[in-house]
Amino acid sequence: IAWTTWVRTGVLKLGVGTPQEVASYYMGGSHIYCTGDLLKQVQLAKLFSDDKHFVDMPLQESPELVLKKFQQLVNVTPEGILSKEQLQQFVSSSFRDPGQEFELWEPQDWMSSPQILAKISDQKLQAWASDLNAKWKSLGRKIKDDVRTRPMFYSQIYVPHPVIVPGGRFIEYYYWDSYWVIEGLLLSEMAATAKGMIQNLLYLVERYGHIPNGGRVYYLCRSQPPFLTLMMDAYLAHANDTEFLRENIHLLEVEYEFWQRNRSVSITVGDRNHTLNYYNVQIGEPRPESYSKDWELASDLNEDARQELWAELKSAAESGWDFSSRWFLSWPPPLPATLKDTKASAVVPVDLNAFLCKTEHLLASFYRILGKEPFQAALERRLEAVQAVFWNEAAGVWLDFNLLKKQPNPAFYPSNLAPLWTDCFSDQAAAERAVRYLEGSTVLSYKNGLPTSLFRTGEQWDLPNAWPPLQHMVIAGLAKSSSSRAKEIAFDLAQNWVRTNFALYKKYQAMFEKYNVDGDGKPGTGGEYQVQEGFGWTNGVVLQLLDLYGDRLTSGSPSTLFRAWIVAACLFLLDLKW
Ligand SMILES: OC[C@H]1O[C@H](O[C@H]2O[C@H](CO)[C@@H](O)[C@H](O)[C@H]2O)[C@H](O)[C@@H](O)[C@@H]1O
């Protein structure tokens, strides 16, 4: 309660105090899940194959008691460092297995035959869509009331309504993932579940002043790409619920203000000053859920340098692209640049500003519905800034801007096309230019999906991975333009993506968080954890593409039998002719 008050009254200013103090305040002072010696010793002893496991474990006793018992052990241990066996014993007697904060829940609004199924011509795709519709049931979670009444026993942040989680190791909500999940739920005609997820995020805004990266206290110090207002728009397009908008529009504004107050930067172009937004988490210490990895990465750095690197890793995680060459300082390559080169707070990203541009656009139109007029001026300023800072006439596309180099990053990233999707441009030739940009690079030659970049860094947001949200943004942006070639490319990209996802679903009976564009198509690879199955946004994006092109998409190349039949028919016709 105390720290929420600090946020509300503005007393807590990021950047005041040591990184540890700020982290500790910001994270609600959790000396078990966010910072402190217990966290450090357990994570560095690598008790579990994934560091996230430990910070997801609920407590068996109060945090004060657990910390006291740990301190007693430390006091009687030479140099205060417990052995792996001692730590194992301590953790198993003081913590419970992850996942016990949830109770069984089946969505009440789930139905077996939503109307979208009837829009899909290909029988195999239709059956697959039916399977994906059923997956919402296995990805649904309801948080136990005990988390509300005894929050200090959990790292899970309580929210009042059930959620659909991504899946695999991600057993809590994630902010930007929820956008594609909600779009998918709406196509499955599960508007009540979708509304509940939006209510949860509004609850978090009311409580913390922003939406944390995910539903854990160790994610509190950072957000993720801002999609709350877009989620409200998606919901309103399916449900005539102006009352819900009226009751909550002030919270949409609070969330928008979080980005304006804490994540904005001024850039001068010519004699004009422009204000744009960036990802910037000035809080040190390793990420609790990847503690040992962050610790090892910084092992040869001095104290200041490692705190700075850890803050940059958090800024990159806030972007949702954790991690990527996009945040490396040493571009344009020569690679190998590594994760250590991450300097995300130096990048002013095209996509973040495109999302906020959409937010301003939507807030302006929401207020108009409610009979008020703010936000139009903010939208106009954003349009001007996006054109002045990001649009690159030579490349014919928008490019991220690097504050340290005072230059655009010339590399290909699907995010370069985000303004097309969010209508954040005034020049109607933009779509044609985007087509030429795509056709002028090699990215359309990848038949399993649009790659995340053209650099093989081993990080998950780079080649060879392709991610569902990025496919959707580019496809939807091209599809809505008036250019016929842009529409054709959009369809081809959708067809490639759906075929890849479908082929791997047949092979593994699973949907993955990301896919590998190499060869015949594989689950994604690289990064700091194994590719995960589930998967919330993947299912949402496939349902959206099937909604858009269900009458044209096909499940695979023509079967061998069909091809043999065509050859036989041709031979027969030739024979007749002769
Ligand atoms: O544990 C490492 C990181 O895991 C998350 O990031 C990845 O999964 C999220 C859930 O699907 C997704 O939103 C994000 O874009 C992925 O990169 C988490 O969000 C990170 O903060 C965390 O460090």
Tell me how far the alpha carbon of residue 467 lies from the centroid of ligand 1, in angstroms.
12
101 is catalytic: no
Lowest mean pLDDT: which of 21-30, 57-66, 254-263?
A: 21-30
Rounded mean pLDDT of 70-82?
96
CA–CA distances in Å: residue 34 to residues 150, 188, 327: 18, 37, 24
Tell me how far the alpha carbon of residue 524 lies from the centroid of ligand 1, in angstroms.
14
pLDDT at 372 (0 to 100) = 75
Residue nearest to atom 14 of ligand 1 (CA): 320
513 is catalytic: yes
Does residue 306 have a pLDDT over 80? yes
Alpha carbons 368 and 431: distance in angstroms, whole number: 28
Does residue 561 have a pLDDT over 60? no
Give strand pairing partners of 400: none
Mutate to test the pocket of ligand 1, among 175, 283, 322, 513 (most ligand atoms within 8 A of CB): 322
DSSP 67-134: HHHHHHHHHTSGGGPPPHHHHHHHHHHHB--TTTTEE----TT--S--GGGGG--SHHHHHHHHHHHH
pLDDT digits (tens, 9 = 90+) for 91-140: 999 999 999 999 989 999 999 999 999 999 999 999 999 999 999 999 99
Does residue 346 have a pLDDT over 60? yes
pLDDT band at 17 (very low <50, low <70, confident <90, very high): very low
pLDDT at 38 (0 to 100) = 97
> Residues of the chain with pLDDT > 90: what percent?
85
Rounded mean pLDDT of 233-260?
96
Alpha carbons 389 and 417: distance in angstroms, whole number: 15
Mutate to test the pocket of ligand 1, among 34, 49, 174 (most ligand atoms within 8 A of CB): 174
> How far is C-alpha 346 from the chain's CA centre?
20
Rounded mean pLDDT of 35-59?
97
Tell me how far the alpha carbon of residue 175 lies from the centroid of ligand 1, in angstroms.
10
Q: What is the mean pLDDT of the chain?
A: 92
Tell me how far the alpha carbon of residue 317 lies from the centroid of ligand 1, in angstroms.
7
Tell me how far the alpha carbon of residue 53 lies from the centroid of ligand 1, in angstroms.
14
Alpha carbons 31 and 70: distance in angstroms, whole number: 12
What does pTM read for this prediction?
A: 0.92
pLDDT at 368 (0 to 100) = 86
pLDDT digits (tens, 9 = 90+) for 188-237: 999 999 999 999 999 999 999 999 999 999 999 999 999 999 999 999 99
Residue nearest to atom 15 of ligand 1 (CA): 320
Residue nearest to atom 23 of ligand 1 (CA): 317
Q: Among the atoms of ligand 1, which is closest to the Cα of residue 323?
A: 17
Six-digit token pair at 351? 């996509």
pLDDT at 317 (0 to 100) = 98
- Sign, Cα dihedral of 52, 54, 59, 64: negative
pLDDT at 14 (0 to 100) = 38
Rounded mean pLDDT of 308-336?
89
pLDDT digits (tens, 9 = 90+) for 507-554: 999 999 999 999 988 999 999 999 999 999 999 999 999 999 999 999
Does residue 386 have a pLDDT over 60? yes
CA–CA distances in Å: residue 322 to residues 264, 434, 527: 20, 26, 8
pLDDT at 564 (0 to 100) = 54
pLDDT at 570 (0 to 100) = 64
What spatial distance separates the first Cα and last Cα of the chain, rounded to whole Å?
88
Would you say the CB of residue 56 lies under 6 angstroms from ligand 1?
Answer: no
Does residue 149 have a pLDDT over 70? yes
Helix H or strand E encompassing 141: strand 140-143
pLDDT at 3 (0 to 100) = 35
Does residue 22 have a pLDDT over 50? no
DSSP 316-348: HHHTT--S-GGGBSS-SPPS---GGGB-GGGEE
Tell me how far the alpha carbon of residue 322 lies from the centroid of ligand 1, in angstroms.
7
Would you say the CB of residue 289 lies under 6 angstroms from ligand 1?
Answer: yes
Rounded mean pLDDT of 156-171?
98
pLDDT at 337 (0 to 100) = 75
Complex-level ipTM: 0.95
CA–CA distances in Å: residue 496 to residues 39, 138, 203, 413, 501: 44, 27, 39, 18, 9
Write down the catalytic residue from 56, 122, 189, 322: 322
What is the Cα Rg of the chain in Å? 25
Q: Which residues of 302-332 are buried (b: 16+ CB within 10 A; e: fewer)?
A: eeeebbbbbbbbbbbbbbbbbbbbbbbbebe
Nearest to 87 by CA among 49, 31, 29, 40: 40
Task: State the DSSP code for 58.
Answer: P
pLDDT at 374 (0 to 100) = 82
pLDDT digits (tens, 9 = 90+) for 405-443: 999 999 999 999 999 999 999 888 888 999 999 999 999
> Residues of the chain with pLDDT > 70: what percent?
90
Alpha carbons 166 and 178: distance in angstroms, whole number: 8
pLDDT at 298 (0 to 100) = 97
Q: What share of the chain is helix, strand, coil (3-state, %, to 5)?
A: 55, 10, 40
Six-digit token pair at 569? 């028919």
Which amino acid is located at 362 in the chain? L
pLDDT band at 330 (very low <50, low <70, confident <90, very high): confident
Residue nearest to atom 11 of ligand 1 (CA): 166
Would you say the CB of residue 170 lies under 6 angstroms from ligand 1?
Answer: yes
pLDDT at 28 (0 to 100) = 52
Six-digit token pair at 259? 């980005």
Does residue 49 have a pLDDT over 80? yes
Mutate to test the pocket of ligand 1, among 33, 164, 170, 211 (most ligand atoms within 8 A of CB): 170
Burial of 247 (C-beta count, 10 Å sphere; 0-12/13-18/19+): exposed
